Amino acid sequence: MIYEKFIEMHTEMAFRNNASSSIIRAMANLGKPLNDAIAAGLMTLDTIHAPIRSACECFNAFEHDGALNASYCGRKVPGFGSSWFKNEPDPVVEKFLNELDDEVLNVVTRYNGYVQDMWNKPGLFPNAALATAAFAFQENIDPVTAMSKVILGRIDAWVSIYSDNYLDRGFN
């Protein structure tokens, strides 16, 4: 059940105008093959867009220690902030977070409060990367491989975005 909700969240996220989906849309418009477009979209993931491994490592460190070591994050904490929702929770993320086990949801709530206090940003809320980190923690998925679950959640949406935007340029 939680896995299906996770896939739903990332499918919905893929239809937003984010880096990976924008690249796939552009590649389709250029008439590039689907595999090239998907590969280009995948190349945008991590660091700034979908920092899954970093979000998992920070979440796990907080769950273990109740705090974050400065070496885990800098000015920005991976897993927080949204390009679409400022000073309020992202409803898609919130919906998924409420599906987590109560124990894990309590860690998310404490972590959110900690980040808001330590970074002095009361309007900062979890994003899909943090939701993925909490999911990975709950399901005992290694941070190194957690991105694979995000990809599974986005691949069908990416194919749909590609198909809707493909222009055959006649270069077979």
Q: How far apart are CA 6 and CA 26, in angstroms?
A: 26
CA 109 from centroid of its chain's CA atoms: 18
pTM value?
A: 0.93
Q: Does residue 75 contact residue 48 with C-beta atoms inside 8 Å?
A: no
List the pLDDT tens digit at each of the 172 positions of the chain: 999 999 999 999 999 999 999 999 999 999 999 999 999 999 999 988 899 999 999 999 999 988 876 655 666 789 999 888 999 999 999 999 999 999 999 999 999 999 999 888 899 999 999 999 999 999 999 999 999 999 999 999 999 999 999 998 776 5
- pLDDT given for residue 169 in this prediction: 79
- pLDDT given for residue 47 in this prediction: 81
CA 73 from centroid of its chain's CA atoms: 17
- pLDDT given for residue 77 in this prediction: 86
Q: Which residues contact 27 (CB under 8 A, 6 or more apart)?
A: 36, 37, 40, 41, 162
